[in-house]
Structure 1
Amino acid sequence: MNTSDVLKIVDHTLLAQTATWAQIREILDDAMKYHTASACIPAAYVKQAAEYVQGRLPICTVIGFPNGYSTTETKVFEAKNAIENGANEIDMVINVGFLKDGRYEEVEEEIRKIHEACDGKILKVIIETCLLTEDEKIKMCELVTKAGAEFIKTSTGFSTAGATFADVKLMKEHVGEGVKVKAAGGISSFDDAEEFMRLGADRLGTSRLVKIMKQTDNGAGY
């Protein structure tokens, strides 16, 4: 597999609290240069980013991030606002506490409401696998499928761990038809990226792969 095959499913990501417009602009420029799937950036920069790329690159942002315990109404507003500002894709964080309380209908309904707010745009549901039991991960595969979201995603990258091969394999085995898997958090090499893809990841959230490309001879290899 060549690097371009990997990069085309990468959400090139910068979500640091300290992110400046200059850094965001660099992320956008690099994402366009290396033809990534999107650039995933903080919501406060979405409007400026959308105006900057002028349709040349999908803009992704995050809501309820990184802890997921905002109210559903707040998350719905965030999603609508981001799309009004030009976001093409939304990554949301579930309420992990509700999941652990067994409030499955509420978790599912929240995803459904946010998906409706996305108005046809792609929704990726972050379940924060490092905080869940295997049974909870399987349950979230069921709930995401029932709620109609396009993707289930492993991690925010801001908790105790990121994506693992075992989690991607498990999620791929348990999601329903049409639901894709995004691995995010700690993906630091093309070898790892290719293994995630082999196990069933349809999208990768990372900034490191583009950084590797920039360090090579004009992006010719790695």
Structure 2
Amino acid sequence: MTVKVEAKPTGLWENIKVIAQALVLAMVIRTVLFQPFTIPSGSMMPTLLVGDYIFVNKFAYGFSKYSLPFSPDLFSGRIFSSEPKRGDIIVIRFPPNPEVDYIKRLVGLPGDRVQIIDGVLYLNAKPVPKVPDGTFNSDYAQDPGQNVPVFRETLDEGVSYETLDQSPVSRGDNTREFIVPEGHYFMMGDNRDNSLDSRFDVGFVPAENLVGRASLIFFSLGNDTSFREIWKWPTNMRWDRLFKRLD
């Protein structure tokens, strides 16, 4: 009688399967759940700093083609969609060039009338309260400097956040009235005098261009420190920003 012996998988094959499964899991998490982003500019100071590494919640507003790697044109609009809230910090695809990611704060919902008058944000003809809240010192070499005036804005929904106002006469301090069309949003950076946003080239952002809501700072390096410069981490780590929630 012949006994058939089933060959056992080799250790190498088992390792390959584990690696493949880990890669698939990582792709699913990145595509469907959370995606890491790095903050490359000062447009969201003081809320987000250059050198912050954040997780973006990609299922917060449902999914569009921009939720997928390489943005395949498989469908239009959003699926499993839910409405973003005024005050959310959102990663968007830059409407004139959707290959580029921007991160801004949502201030205008569909149907809202948005205007800046003498540096004050008006929503539907009502000024958003803006009160002095100290000064800000940057450890970023290019922007925005030292002792920059900070102002706290509070929306009707109760969302409160800090903004920077470096100059009372910048080109974005007085604008026309913008009426946000259906299916679009009006975005602004918290660093009001140094942000390309819906006041300028970004324009109204289609719902399809929302990538996800910024939810957590998981790592942060100051003084223009590259992630690769591990030897500089101990002295340039912003320890107080690690695992900071973004509400």
Q: Structure 2 length as normaliser, TM-score?
A: 0.22
User: Whose strand proportion is higher, 1 or 2?
Assistant: 2
Compare the two structures and name the one with the higher helix fraction: 1
- Of structures 1 and 2, the one with the larger relative CO (CA 8 A, separation 6+) is 2
The structure with the larger Rg is 2
